[in-house]
């Protein structure tokens, strides 16, 4: 049944997922698909539009920080491969460890910077969640250096501004995103 759930998430079959949860409330939602790098259903959902992530986050048995065989959390996977919308949903969940590195030491921010995921980084800054610029991977390259090496100039500029003045940069980014007050809500899902 777990593999069936995983495939339904991968394929975006929302009604089927709801039916699985209804008929099998004790299903292991954290089951790892060893055929696909040990990714969980939450990892697979990070390639979608976000509605699958919201459904999985609401499941009482979900482990939001379950690591793949490569040590990737769903948040890291979303920063590397997913959309900004998926990252935002994970940022809104207080259980998500946002600076958790994979087994080679590379962090979610490193991968977002490396691939030039400007929107992901902007939403991360706007969320107010911790962003550790100093974490480094095997090559001892931090996020700013990774973005510089990949010639992601907008990302470099944003991260340098954030490093110099977090509060001011957060205010500017929130203004750019047309956010006022407490628009980002950190959800506390029941465990």
Task: Find the CATH number of the domain harbouring 165.
Answer: 1.25.40.20
Query: What tokens were used for 177?
Result: 């995103």
In a domain, 190, yes or no: no
Which of 40-44, 138-142, 181-185 is modeled with the greatest confidence?
40-44
Task: List the one residue out of 28, 30, 6, 32 whose CA is nearest residue 17.
Answer: 6
Average pLDDT across the chain, whole number: 92
Q: What is the pLDDT, as a whole number, of residue 109?
A: 96
In a domain, 27, yes or no: yes
Question: How large a percentage of the chain has pLDDT more than 70?
Answer: 93
In a domain, 186, yes or no: no
Higher pLDDT among residues 91 and 83, named by residue: 91
Burial annotation 132-145 (CB, 10 A radius, 16+ → b, else e): ebebbbeeebbbbb
How many Cα neighbours within 13 Å face the side chain of 162?
25
In a domain, 135, yes or no: yes
Q: How confident is the model at residue 7 (pLDDT cuts 50, 70, 90)?
A: very high
In a domain, 189, yes or no: no
In a domain, 191, yes or no: no
Flag the least confident range among 81-85, 110-114, 180-184.
180-184
Average pLDDT over residues 58-64: 96
Q: What is the pLDDT, as a whole number, of residue 179?
A: 86
Q: How confident is the model at residue 181 (pLDDT cuts 50, 70, 90)?
A: low
Length of the chain: 191
Task: List the one residue out of 118, 128, 187 whose CA is nearest residue 158.
Answer: 118
* Structural domain boundaries enclosing 150: 2-176
Task: List the one residue out of 189, 26, 72 whose CA is nearest residue 2.
Answer: 26
Asked whether residue 190 carries a pLDDT value surpassing 50, the answer given is no
Average pLDDT over residues 80-85: 90
Q: Are 156 and 148 a contacting pair, CB within 8 Å?
A: yes
Q: Are 161 and 149 a contacting pair, CB within 8 Å?
A: no
Asked whether residue 187 carries a pLDDT value surpassing 60, the answer given is no
Question: How many domains does one find in the chain?
Answer: 1
Q: What is the pLDDT, as a whole number, of residue 183?
A: 53
Higher pLDDT among residues 128 and 184, named by residue: 128
Question: How large a percentage of the chain has pLDDT more than 90?
Answer: 83
Q: Is 96 exposed, middle or buried (0-12, 13-18, 19+ CB in 10 A)?
A: buried
In a domain, 110, yes or no: yes
Q: What is the pLDDT, as a whole number, of residue 182?
A: 57
In a domain, 187, yes or no: no
């Amino acid at each position: 049944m777990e593999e069936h759930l995983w495939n339904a998430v991968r394929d975006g079959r929302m009604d089927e997922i709801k039916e699985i949860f209804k008929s099998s409330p004790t299903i292991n939602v954290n089951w790892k698909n060893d055929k696909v790098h040990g990714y969980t259903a939450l990892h697979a959902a990070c390639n979608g539009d976000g509605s699958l992530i919201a459904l999985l986050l609401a499941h009482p048995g979900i482990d939001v920080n379950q690591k793949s065989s490569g040590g990737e959390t769903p948040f890291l996977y979303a920063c590397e491969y997913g959309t900004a919308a998926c990252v935002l949903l994970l940022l809104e969940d207080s259980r998500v460890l946002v600076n958790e590195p994979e087994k080679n030491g590379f962090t979610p921010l490193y991968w977002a910077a490396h691939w030039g995921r400007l929107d992901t980084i902007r939403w991360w800054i706007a969320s107010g969640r911790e962003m550790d610029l100093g974490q480094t991977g095997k090559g001892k390259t931090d996020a700013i250096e990774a973005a510089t090496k990949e010639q992601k100039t907008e990302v470099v500029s944003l991260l340098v501004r954030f490093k110099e003045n977090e509060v001011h940069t957060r205010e500017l980014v929130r203004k750019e995103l047309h956010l006022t007050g407490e628009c980002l809500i950190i959800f506390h899902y029941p465990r």
